[in-house]
Amino acid sequence: MKPMTDVCTQPRIRLLGGFRLDCAHHPVHVAPGVRRFLALLALQEIPIERSAAAAVLWPETTARRAAACLRSTLWRLVKPAELLVESSEDMLALSSCVEVDFRHARRLVAAATPGRLPDDSAVALLQADLLPGWGHDWVRTEQDWWRQARLRALEALSRRLWSSGDRDQACLAAMAAVRADPLRESAHRTLVELHIADGNPAAAVRQYTAYRVRLRDELGLEPSPQFHELVHPMLTGASAPGTARNATHHPRRMSHKR
């Protein structure tokens, strides 16, 4: 890991999977206070007032002390600071030259439902946690939003990837949603629908059964009637072959219910 230098070229901040600052594709050591400051700016899409940033980062101190801490943090940034932070007398923002993975992930979430196919990094980004281990209040709000938004996006992407013919990535996206929230029915149902569409009723039944057992054991609940109805023909063995064949020929008809 490189030490702080006078210039940071090609700066990139990663928030997904943990904080990391890269300069010219190499990770750079960042002091904890600077790390929190850069993360706060990276989460903002618009400039933030200096006083607001200081109050968020040092909530237990006086406004005067918080302002002094902020000035000290700015001084400790990679020099020249303008490469990472744009500042005025009252406002602060991350420089436009800094790439942020979470901002890209937000755009992926926004594009998940409309109709555009994602890029190759979509599934990897969407299955990563936002700043895991960070318990600050200003981070928790974004973490809660990200947790739900990425699950909805993964489910939508899995269906779109399937419709485009990319079955492997479709299954990876659905499995990522299941891993992210093992008790989320819509995630399991998406994966079951993919197995049915792939003509694999045995895998569909196994997935449903595993979810049903876990839901019972942990919450004392049962899957919804709609989910049970989806797999009922295969559970009884009445018409599984026909169901699998029909789903294989019509993958676009998979349910979008939650």
pLDDT of residue 82: 54
Calculate Rg over the CA atoms of the chain: 23
- Domain ranges within the chain, ordered by starting residue: 12-97, 182-258
Asked if pLDDT for residue 241 goes beyond 60, the answer is no
pLDDT per residue over 85-103, tens digit each?
A: 998 889 999 999 999 999 9
pTM for the structure as a whole: 0.80
The count of C-alpha atoms lying within 13 angstroms of the C-alpha of 116, restricted to the half-sphere facing its C-beta, is: 9
**DSSP 8-state code for residue 129:** P
CA angle 7, 46, 103 (to 5 degrees): 70
In angstroms, the CA 3 to CA 26 distance is: 10
Say if CB 37 and CB 125 are below 8 A apart. Answer: no
Q: What is the dotted CATH code of the domain comprising 12-97?
A: 1.10.10.10
Helix ranges, 60-136 (H): 63-75, 101-112, 122-126
pLDDT per residue over 120-136, tens digit each?
A: 678 888 989 999 999 99
pLDDT of residue 6: 55
pLDDT of residue 55: 97
C-alpha distances out from residue 48 to 21, 45, 200, 236, Å: 20, 9, 52, 59
In angstroms, the CA 250 to CA 252 distance is: 5
Asked if pLDDT for residue 230 goes beyond 70, the answer is yes
Average pLDDT for residues 72-84, to the nearest whole number?
A: 74
